[in-house]
Amino acid sequence: MSIATYRMYSKALNKQTQFNLYLPSKRLERQPVLFLLHGLSDDYAAWLTLSSLARYAGQYPFAIVMPDAGRSYYTNLPNGERYWDYLTEELPLYLKTWLEFPLTRSTTFVAGLSMGGYGAFKMGLTYPERFGAAASLSGRLDIAATWADRSSYFDAVFGSQEKFQSGQDNLLNLLANQQVTRLPLLQYIGAEDHLLESNRTFRAFSRQYLEKLDYREQTGNHNWAFWDTYLPSTLTWLTERYQQLNS
């Protein structure tokens, strides 16, 4: 295996940015790729420095891309960088062009923790034709219900709560798209996590629309001990979805 840090200029961000890339020892002709997203207080290096990802990843087929999204909540900031455009347009084009990853639906997956759990579901639900599956660990999935937790911050990122409630940043609105019906989602949440009710709300609402939601409520809190514990089973679940799509 190898781990490298890539730097690229992003027009959407109007600056240089970077991502970490884990490559398995054996590269496949149609290499499966996992986008692994960080949380609000972290950056592109977090998964490699704060979890045992490098030790776990050798058991799985994925090239793992760990981009930086700042504190953007995986959206285009009203008065700043357009992280959503970077992550969904520029970065995939870079990976296809320079690393020759196919990035088809059967070879592309996304997962993340906390803010990144929201980002993973947002990417999957917005572009179900691009992703074979998506996984969230402790994601803030019903932002409208938890707006008061970070109201001034969410106002700056998304605009007003009313605008968010009716827009496409709201995961609950994305579920109404018939194309997402068969998108497999994995949802991990700790029983002591402050986002537990947000996750339960998402689960209850999404089951009206989704055929393949795997909800797992486990003992644990909103911390790296929880995420590191359930990272291997998340990678196993994603590998199973990859195998099903390519059998």
pLDDT reported for residue 132: 98
Top-tier CATH class for 2-245:
alpha beta
Q: Is the dihedral of CA 204, 206, 211, 212 positive or negative?
A: negative
pLDDT reported for residue 176: 86
Give residue limits of the domains in the chain. Answer: 2-245
Q: Give the mean model confidence (pLDDT) for residues 80-106.
A: 97
Q: Are strands 15-23 and 2-10 parallel, antiparallel or unpaired?
A: antiparallel
pLDDT reported for residue 42: 97
pLDDT reported for residue 196: 98
134 neighbors 123 (Cβ within 8 angstroms): yes
CA–CA separation, 187 vs 233, rounded Å? 12
Q: 154 pLDDT exceeds 90? A: yes
**189: part of which helix (H) or strand (E)?**
strand 185-190
Considering only residues 179 and 184, tell me which one the structure prediction assigns the higher pLDDT.
184
Which residue, among 247, 210, 231, has the nearest Cα to 60 in the 3D structure?
Answer: 231
Q: 177 pLDDT exceeds 90? A: no
Question: 182: pLDDT confidence band, cut at 50, 70 and 90?
Answer: very high
pLDDT reported for residue 97: 97
Beta carbons within 8 Å of 107's beta carbon, 6+ residues apart? 30, 31, 32, 33, 101, 132, 242, 246
Q: How many CA atoms lie within 13 A of 14 on its CB side?
A: 6
Beta carbons within 8 Å of 17's beta carbon, 6+ residues apart? 7, 8, 9, 10, 67, 68, 86
CA–CA separation, 12 vs 120, rounded Å? 19
